[in-house]
Amino acid sequence: DGFDKLRRGVERLRDIGIPIRELLKVDRVCSANLDGNIVIAGKPDILGLTDDDEIVLLDAKTSKPSDKTLWRNQQQLEAYRTAIENPKIGDARQVGFMGLVVFEPRTAKGNSESMALVGALSFMRMEPDRSAFERLIERTADGLRSPQMPEAGRFCEACAWYAQVRAYEVEP
C-alpha cells in the first residue's frame, strides 16, 4: 500500500536533510484539549522517529510555499505539534524536528493508463514558535466569543471577503 512505498522512501527523506530513522503510521487524528474549552485536531501527513526516539513531524506540499502561505503552514505544524505533545488520548511524545517536504512537479510521464509526476523534492525546516500559535489560538477564541466579526487579518482570505461585504452594507 501507500505506507509501504513511503517506508521505502525513508532514505530519500534522509537525502534531503531529514533526520528520520523510521516512519510511523498515521492512523488516527491527533487532538488536544486546550484549557478545557478549545479542542484542536488534525492528521499529520508524515510522522517518524529520529535516532533519539523524538517525533519527526512533516507536512507534504506540492509546491514551494509563498511568504503568504508559509505562516499558515507554520501554524498548521504547530497545531499538530501541540496535539502530539498534549494529547487528549494516549501518551504525550516530544516533537524534535518538524518541517515541510515539498515536491514540485516539473513534468508528467506515462500514458492514459499509468502516469507519474517527475520533479524536485526538497525540505524546509520549521522551528517551533509556540508563542505565535498561542496568540493565534487566543485571537481566534476571542473572535468566536465576540458578537462582532474581527477586523480582516493579513493572511485570512475569509476575513478579507467579509471586510469587502461589510464595506458595501448600508445601514437601514
pLDDT tens across 13-38, in order?
888 889 998 888 887 778 887 777 78
List alpha helices for the chain, DSSP H: 2-8, 10-15, 67-85, 130-145, 157-168
Interior CA angle at 120 toward 118 and 125, to 5°? 145
What is the DSSP secondary structure assignment for residue 51, as one 8-state letter? T
Average pLDDT rounded to a whole number, residues 111-137: 89
For residue 76, what pLDDT band results from cuts at 50, 70 and 90? very high
Average pLDDT rounded to a whole number, residues 49-70: 89
Q: What does pLDDT average to over the chain?
A: 83
The helix (H) or strand (E) run that includes residue 115 is strand 115-125
C-alpha cell at 169: 452594507
As a whole number of angstroms, the distance between CA 159 and CA 152 comes to 4
Average pLDDT rounded to a whole number, residues 159-172: 67
Residue 156 has pLDDT above 80, yes or no: no
**Model pTM score:** 0.76
Average pLDDT rounded to a whole number, residues 63-79: 89
The helix (H) or strand (E) run that includes residue 34 is strand 30-34
C-alpha cell at 38: 478549545
Lowest-confidence segment of 46-50, 69-73, 117-121, 141-145 by average pLDDT:
141-145
Of 109, 98, 41, nearest in space to 73 by CA: 98
Residue 172 has pLDDT above 50, yes or no: no
Residue 104 has pLDDT above 50, yes or no: yes
Residue 1 has pLDDT above 80, yes or no: no
Beta strand extents in 45-112 (DSSP E only): 46-49, 55-61, 95-110
What contacts 25, CB < 8 A, 6 or more positions away? 3
As a whole number of angstroms, the distance between CA 153 and CA 169 comes to 19
